[in-house]
Structure 1
Amino acid sequence: MIKKFEKYVLITDMDGTLIDSKGNISEENINAIRYFVEQGGKFTIATGRMVESARRYVKDLPVELPVILYNGTKIFDFIKEETINEYFLEDEIKELIKEIKKNQSSLGIEIYAEENVYIFNSCRFTERFSKKGYEVFYKIPNELWERKWTKILILGEEEEMDVLEEHFEDCYGKTNLIRSGENYLEIIPKGTSKGHAMEHLCKSFNLDISKVIAVGDNMNDLELLLKASYGFCVENGNKKLMNQVKYKTKCNDNHAIAHVIEWLEKNIVKV
């Protein structure tokens, strides 16, 4: 007997999409995802988070496929506890952030390397880790500059981020810069994105890209939503993103993923 979601793949962003504004995944979303998987679908996550930050949510979900982390820079299999694919920042970016710190000292700068977070420059947004119990390093060891970096996160007030995003290339040169939130700008390795990682995942695990459903809320999700056959933006999402994708769904506080699965069942699935 063919199950109704056989060969379909659901990929969702976490913050602002799967996770509500209180930091939880609703029972409605969890139950809907379990139903999707029980009916033959495959489920995974595409997030800007690192391994341990994603793990505390992944453990409660039926995630059978590897998870896309760091906005596409890393693909990690939580079942096998192994990295499937990973890219690293170009060495010249390491010098660039010294310039940013020198010229715009009010901005927070975080370095992500070897699953650790190093605070290169503090601001009020870099203090969020202390509230969540994550270990971060405020002392930058000299050897960090010789290690492989996964990404850099620049943090500041929304207006600061707007200006920096608009003029970044003029001031600092061309990089793979993405806006992952009102207060977040990320630099990730060239050629990487959630969409690129999704294509890698489909090719590696023989998944039909024409049956991929993706859900997100911000501009770091754009490529993922455009490359998926059914790309949904939640109604609390970035307006630029909303204007560029075909499908819309409920906000993250109104069980967005459950609504997407319900829509899929009513409009697409033929059994």
Structure 2
Amino acid sequence: MQPHLIVTDLDNTLLNAEHDLDELTIETFQALAAEGHHLALASGRHFHDITAFRRRLGVPAYILSTNGAHLYAPDDSLIAEQWVPAELVRALVELPRDADIRLNLYTGDEWLIDASAPELKALHAHTGFHYRVADLEAHDGNGVGKVLCIGDPVALASLEQSINEALGTRVHVTYSMAHSLEIMAEGVNKGATLERLLTHLELPATRCLAFGDNLNDAEMLALAGHGFIVENAHPELVRRVPDAARIGHHHPYGVAWQLREFFALT
């Protein structure tokens, strides 16, 4: 079989219910790499967060981090990146929001948060990458790939409306989970970065498999020649990408089983 590109989201897609990798998934990725296929991990997570999973997989893989704001080669060399303009970061930080919403900034090296949020630590327990509490009001807005707001979905919906009214199309707004509102630069999403990666690899979209579960995966799934939505996906994602195939639940092994079937792995 000709080389394909396999690109997958992490949380609630490739990872299990404990936000970790299982042995079947690791074995599957190693088998695909041995057959000469290209692999990529695409997530809203920070680059340093994702590299921990790549090490566990034990394969060379491209990384589309921060919802596509940064694209890295398997050797960690930077292929492309796009920051949120500093003035827009400042505008987002200064925008009124519910007191219980946690404001986060993803910089080149750090995950900054405006106050401690112990409930987030379980999500990153298997990577060792954690936030640092900082005065985000004092941040100059430079070198930020993503502004992340974490909180109650109703409060986030109100904030999303305020962002749309204030900034319009100058930013790209999406959700990675019901409680995670993600804001990147205009035109930044996993699909746009996947298109850049396909060009880099000189592969057509017809030889790309993509897997996802939430709204920040929509553009990526729509671009791939073979888009797969896990059973536990956000219902709106199914409506946005109606041509994507439905597969099993992410826990256990939904992505791994589909890959083994597609590539006839024994």
Task: With the length of structure 1 as denominator, give the TM-score of the two structures.
Answer: 0.86
Residue 110 of structure 1: aligned partner: 104
Shift of 1:143: 7.4
Query: Which residue of structure 1 lines up, in the alignment, with residue 236 of structure 2?
Result: 240
Q: Which one-letter code corresponds to 1:155 in the other structure?
A: I
| Distance in 2 between residues matched to 1:129 and 1:241, nearest whole Å | 22
Provide the secondary structure at the position in 2 that maps to 1:17.
helix
Cα distance in 2 for residues equivalent to 1:82 and 1:30: 23
Task: State the 1:118 CA deviation.
Answer: 1.7
Q: Provide the C-alpha distance between the structure 2 equivalents of 1:10 and 1:98, rounded to a whole number of angstroms.
A: 36
SS of the residue 2:149 aligns to: strand
Distance 1:96 1:64 in 2: 38
Which consecutive unaligned segments of at least 5 residues does structure 1 have? none
Structure-2 residue corresponding to 1:165: 160
Q: Is the 8 A contact 2:85 2:141 kept in 1?
A: no
Shift of 1:207: 2.0
**Alignment counterpart, residue 150 of structure 2, candidates 152, 155, 171:** 155
SS at match of 1:54: helix
Of the three residues 36, 40, 49, the one matched with 1:44 is 40
How far does residue 142 in structure 1 lie from its aligned partner after superposition? 8.3
Aligned to 1:28: 24
The structure number with the bigger radius of gyration is 1
Alpha-carbon distance between aligned partners in 2 of 1:56 and 1:168, rounded to the nearest angstrom: 33
> In the superposition, relative to structure 1, how do residues 130 and 24 fare at CA in structure 2: closer, same or farther (>3 Å)?
closer
| Fraction of identical pairs, as percent | 21
Equivalence for 2:53: 57
Pairing 1:99-248 to 2, within 5 Å after superposition:
99-100=94-95, 102-120=96-114, 133-140=128-135, 144-145=139-140, 147-166=142-161, 168-170=163-165, 173-174=168-169, 175-245=171-241, 246-248=244-246
> What secondary structure does 1:31 align onto?
helix
Preserved contact between residue 37 and residue 62 of structure 1 (Cα < 8 Å): no
CA RMSD of aligned residues (A): 2.6
